[in-house]
């Protein structure tokens, strides 16, 4: 299993909406690096859900239920989407400031390349964030 971070602006698609929907497709990615990461996702992979712009924090966990397929929001076949389902909220959301302050997490791909809407998370980073948030999978 691999770990990822996916981010969304709360006014476009919030964690509350993810909880309400239960499952959704993750679309609209128009960055080549993020597209590569979407294509690498496998069924069962776990994703941190990050609120960007408002909140700037990791708030929950989702799981990939369907691997990359043509993004239904565009006819351009270069872009893909994946399906994710709600897993759980973090007991304590983890802010971007906390990530930047932590010796291990300050070098996360997402922290270094904050414009990425999809980014890999290492096993060590995943464990650290789960411990910080006092959440178990």
Going from the N-terminus, what domains does the chain have, and what CATH number goes with each?
3-132 (3.10.590.10)
Judge contact between 135 and 90, C-beta under 8 A.
yes
What is the per-residue pLDDT for 109?
A: 95
* Of 60, 52, 57, the residue nearest 15 (C-alpha): 60
Three-class DSSP category at 35:
helix
Contact between 63 and 84 under an 8 Å Cβ cutoff? The reply is yes
pLDDT tens digits along 19-67: 999 999 998 889 999 999 999 999 999 999 999 988 999 999 999 999 9
Could you tell me the pLDDT band of residue 117, with boundaries at 50, 70 and 90? very high
Q: Residue 3 pLDDT > 90, yes or no?
A: yes
**How high is the pLDDT of residue 114?**
83
> What pTM does this model have?
0.95
Helix extents (H) in 41-122:
96-101, 109-112
Give the helix, strand, coil percentages of the chain, each rounded to 5: 30, 35, 35
CB of 129 closer than 8 Å to CB of 104: no
Task: Give the helix ranges, DSSP H, for the chain.
Answer: 15-21, 32-40, 96-101, 109-112, 123-132
User: Does 115 have pLDDT greater than 90?
Assistant: no
Over range 99-111, report the average pLDDT: 96
Report the pLDDT value the prediction gives residue 7, as an integer from 0 to 100. Answer: 95
């Amino acid at each position: 299993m691999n770990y990822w971070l996916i981010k969304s602006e709360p006014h476009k698609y919030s964690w509350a909406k993810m909880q309400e929907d239960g499952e959704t497709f993750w679309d609209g990615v128009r960055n080549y690096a993020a597209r590569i990461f979407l294509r690498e996702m496998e069924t069962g992979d776990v994703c941190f859900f990050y609120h960007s712009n408002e909140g700037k924090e990791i708030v929950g966990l989702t799981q990939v239920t369907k691997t990359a397929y043509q993004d239904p929001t565009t006819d351009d076949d270069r872009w893909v989407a994946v399906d994710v389902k709600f897993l759980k909220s973090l007991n304590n959301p983890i802010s971007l400031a906390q990530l930047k302050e932590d010796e291990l997490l300050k070098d996360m791909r997402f922290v270094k390349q904050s414009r990425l809407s999809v980014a890999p998370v290492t096993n060590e980073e995943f464990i650290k964030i789960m411990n910080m948030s006092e959440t178990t999978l």
